[in-house]
Amino acid sequence: MPYVAVSALSHPGLLRERNEDSLVIGPWTLCATVTATPQTLLFPLGTPLVVAVADGLGGHPGGDVASALVVRRIAGAGPGLSSEDAVRDTLNTCNRAVYVAAGGERETELTAMGTTVAGVVLRPGSLLAFNVGDSRVFATLGSGLKQVSVDDSPPPEPGQRTTSLVTQCLGGSPGYRPVQPHVTAVPLAPGDRCLICTDGLTDPVEEDVLEAVLREHDDGRAAFELWKAAIAAGGPDNITLAVVRVAQE
């Protein structure tokens, strides 16, 4: 019977005082926590299984509150995320929930808190990749690693590889703004792997390095080596990642 193995960790990096990232794997959530050793969980492949990261917006109050709120809501909705519309509806509900928790039309200490989100819903035969913001989902598809999420960010400045700006996120503004979640269906077969991560990994680490690590190491070791690569590159931001593999018993 096919099953899903998920190896994940979350770490503040070397320059941030706290971790504002959050993580959801099925019913399990990890919020504002420090782990340097990957945790591996196994699930049967049947009922929709959601794995996602959320990156609280830096420079805004309550980034950790926003990311935790979103992953907990996604965890609750997870078994019902059987279609693209269900995923979009849940992300739109999360966007509204972040706005309301920030005070709605009232100005509070959490006004304009926000978060990105990116993840997958695994089902027999296919997965749904989704995101709002610049956290990313990669999948190993035939010829190598391919990004299957869509960055909500402007083009980087000349000479720069990345940008810290986002064009949409969940919450993140004093007034309510609707979002247009990206949701993509991807075929899924035993042996396929995904990488879901915040930009604390992808900003300092080149994509060819991500691909090489995933090619050379098994799940838990790959998660650890990816984290090490981000730390070796300066660890400028919170680092949260999950390596997901579909296996056949």
Q: Which domains does the chain have, with CATH numbers?
A: 2-248 (3.60.40.10)
Q: Which pLDDT score is estimated for 32? A: 83
Distance CA 180, CA 77 (A): 19
Of 55, 41, 50, the C-alpha closest to 12 is: 55
Q: Is the pLDDT of residue 142 over 70?
A: no
pLDDT band at 58 (very low <50, low <70, confident <90, very high): confident
Neighbours of 232 (CB within 10 A): 10
Tokens representing 181 are 């979640």
Q: What is the mean pLDDT of residues 146-150?
A: 96
Going by C-alpha positions, the residue among 225, 194, 219, 227 that lies closest to residue 126 is: 194
Label residue 172 by pLDDT band (50, 70, 90): very high
Mean pLDDT of 154-183: 88
What is the mean pLDDT of the segment spanning 124-141? 94
Helices (H) and strands (E) in the chain, counts: 5, 13
CA angle, residues 87, 92, 97, in degrees to nearest 5: 125
What is the overall mean pLDDT for the chain?
94
pLDDT of residue 94: 98
Give pLDDT tens digits for 9-54: 999 999 988 999 999 999 999 998 888 899 999 999 999 999 999 9
Give me the residue label for tokens 């960055």.
151
pLDDT tens, residue by residue, 68-106: 999 999 999 999 999 999 999 999 999 999 999 999 989
